[in-house]
Amino acid sequence: MAYDYVAFKSDFYKLTGIDLNLYKERQMKRRIESLMTRKGFSGYDLFYKGMKQDEELLRTFVRYLTINVSQFYRNPNQWETFEKDVLPMLCKRFNNRLNIWSAACSTGDEPYTIAMICAKYMSIEHIRIYATDIDDDVLAFAKAGVYSAKSLVDLPMEYKEKWFHSLDDNHYEIDKKIKKCVTFSKHNLLADPYYKDIHLIVCRNVVIYFTEEAKDKVYMQFCDSLMDDGILFIGSTEQLLRPKEFGFESFNTFFYKKHK
């Protein structure tokens, strides 16, 4: 029998615990086939064998599953709403002590953005952000906390001046105090257990790669993770069509509140 995408998915799952059935198939096949061709493999069987023998190729592939592009203060309007309407509600409701989860955080731009905004309103020692991603390489990058100017283009000057140290013409290191607010760890949204007692979940620009069923399950689990009145913050191209079915009500565009 020919070794096809179905066989590849099953072997890849055994190797990594990542279930490609839960990612949109057309998009995923297109990405895999383009990487395979670029790397000089003529079929799924050879590509899988290549990944088994070459850890670097396997890492490249995991990195390639979804686009891990991120940026500080990505989609500025969303962060303005977060600061003006969402954070004040959360601080009041939970006495300025928030457990925050930045899920699928990529290179750390998003959790560090949250930390810098929260630091304007809360004592920095009380800011606790769990930041997770499936990809070891982006997590290592995030922990190092060194960014090129391109990552900072949308970040308002007040944050740049206060929380970044210039290393050379093009590189900036984030301040240790902000780094300390964030704990990075590996987590697969489609397989691992979810945090509990969270007040804010920020999960942007990853569920677009998941199948509808997988996406629905993620939203259900997010709702279980949150305390009552906790908030789910999603990406600018995303929407929960029937929030009530997941235990949410709309709080503002792109923000959903867990309702009792």
Ligand X SMILES: C[S@@+](CC[C@H](N)C(=O)[O-])C[C@H]1O[C@@H](n2cnc3c(N)ncnc32)[C@H](O)[C@@H]1O
Binding mask 125-154 for ligand X (x = CB under 6 A): --------xxx--x----------------
Task: List binders of ligand X among 188-207 (CB under 6 A).
Answer: 188-190, 204-206
Q: Which is nearer to ligand X, 66 or 99 (CB)?
A: 66
Q: Which of 15, 27, 34, 67 binds ligand X (CB under 6 A)?
A: 67
Binding of ligand X by 232 (CB under 6 A): no
Q: Kindly state the greatest CA–CA separation across the chain.
A: 62
Task: Choose the stretch contacting ligand X; rule: CB under 6 A; options: 63-71, 77-85, 121-129, 168-176.
Answer: 63-71
SS3 letters across 81-126 = HHHHHHHHHHHHHCCCCEEEEEECCCCCHHHHHHHHHHCCCCCHHH
Q: What CA–CA distance (Å, rounded) separates 135 from 118?
A: 26
Kindly report the number of other CB atoms within 10 A of residue 241's CB atom.
6
Binding of ligand X by 28 (CB under 6 A): no
Question: Comparing C-alpha atoms, which of 63, 70, 65, 125 is closest to residue 102?
Answer: 70
Determine contact, residues 152/113, Cβ cutoff 8 Å.
Answer: no
Smallest distance from ligand X to CB 66, Å: 4
Binding of ligand X by 81 (CB under 6 A): no
Binding of ligand X by 258 (CB under 6 A): no
Residues that bind ligand X (CB under 6 A): 65-70, 74, 104-106, 110, 133-135, 138, 187-190, 204-206, 235
